[in-house]
Amino acid sequence: MPFTISDLRQCPEFFDTVAERIWRAWWEPEGHPLAYIQTRLRENLNGSPIPFALVAHVSNEFLGTASAIASDVPARPQFTPWVAAVWVEPHARRRGIGAMLVSRAAQDCFALGFGRTYLCARPRRSGFYERLGWRTIERRVGPDRLSILIQDATPEPGEIKGSRP
C-alpha cells in the first residue's frame, strides 16, 4: 500500500484524529480528558523542532502517527529526544507503516543534530522495535515495567542500523 508520511504541521486536517487515537490508546484509560491531549498535541504545531508529530496517510485517509518529544519517561529526564505515541490503524497494520513512521521520526531527530534517540515500550511491544534495529538498554522501568530502547545516528562498528521499509 503506497502511503505518504507528512508532518502534522503540513496536514492539520488530521489533528483531531491524531489527538483522539493518542488519547484512546494511552490517556483515556488513566482518566485524562481528551482536551488535555489536544492541548499537548497543539505543541506539535508551533515552530520549534521538537515536539513534532508525523502522520501516515493515503490522500485524506489517516493510517497512523508517531511523534518525537523531549521526554517520555519522567524517571529518565536526561534522555532526549523520544519517539513516542506510535499508532497504526488496525486495518493498516502489518504493512510496514509503523516501521516507516518510527524510522522517519528517528531520522528526523538525527537530522536535527541528535546523535541518539530513545523510545519506551511495554514488554509485549519491545520485540517489534528490536526487529527494527532499536537496542534495549533498560527493562522493567516504572509501574508499567517499560523497556527503554535506543537508536544511534551512527551505529557502532559491526552493528546493522535498522529499519526496514
Identify whether 35 is part of a domain. Answer: yes
pLDDT tens, position by position, 2-40 = 899 999 999 999 999 999 999 999 999 889 999 999 999
Identify whether 159 is part of a domain. Answer: no
Residues, the chain:
165
How far is the C-alpha of 13 from the C-alpha of 9, rounded, in Å?
9
How far is the C-alpha of 91 from the C-alpha of 107, rounded, in Å?
26
Q: Which residue type occupies 77?
A: P
- Integer-rounded Cα Rg, in Å, for the chain is 15
Domain count across the chain = 1
Q: CATH number of the domain that 94 lies in?
A: 3.40.630.30
Identify whether 31 is part of a domain. Answer: yes
Bridge partners (DSSP) of residue 88 are 64
**Which residue segment(s) compose the domain that 147 sits in?**
4-152
Identify whether 23 is part of a domain. Answer: yes
What's the maximum distance between 2 C-alpha atoms anywhere in the chain? 46
pLDDT tens, position by position, 108-147 = 999 999 999 999 999 889 999 999 999 999 999 988 899 9
The fraction of the chain above a pLDDT of 70, given in percent, is: 93
Identify whether 162 is part of a domain. Answer: no
